[in-house]
């Protein structure tokens, strides 16, 4: 689900579905709960929600994505890896799993 003015969202994401279509195989690779005919396939909605939330946190905060890296050429390395959260300006470093597990996140209240 994407929030914001329709024009702003369209400008950022375009009108295609390529962003959503690309995330589906990544999600299936990260979680057996999304793959049919496996022993770990989710039969309970709460387990699926928890596994999906965990996968989102890990992917966005801990995993550098090659297409998001920035060229630095600082003499030691050519590229600075970036996670999706870093690219969005939400954090300044790739988190460790320990940070994800022990970090405190304030809940966002949604208006209905």
Binned average pLDDT, 10 residues per bin, the chain of 112 residues: 70 64 71 70 81 87 89 84 90 93 79 68
pLDDT at 62 (0 to 100): 92
Phi, psi of 90 (to 5 degrees): -90, -20
pLDDT at 53 (0 to 100): 86
Kind and range of the H or E run holding 11:
helix 6-13
User: Which residues, including other chains, have CB under 8 Å from residue 47's CB and lie 6 or more apart?
Assistant: 33
């Amino acid at each position: 689900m994407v929030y914001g003015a329709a024009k702003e969202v369209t400008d950022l994401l375009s009108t295609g579905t390529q962003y959503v279509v690309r995330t589906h195989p990544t999600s299936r690779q990260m979680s057996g709960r999304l793959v049919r005919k496996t022993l770990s396939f989710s039969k309970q909605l709460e387990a699926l929600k928890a596994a999906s939330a965990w996968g989102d946190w890990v992917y966005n905060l801990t995993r550098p994505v090659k297409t998001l890296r920035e060229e630095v050429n600082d003499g030691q390395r050519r590229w600075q890896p970036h996670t999706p959260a870093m690219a969005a300006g939400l954090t300044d470093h790739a988190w460790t799993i320990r940070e994800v597990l022990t970090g405190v996140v304030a809940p966002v209240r949604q208006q209905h």
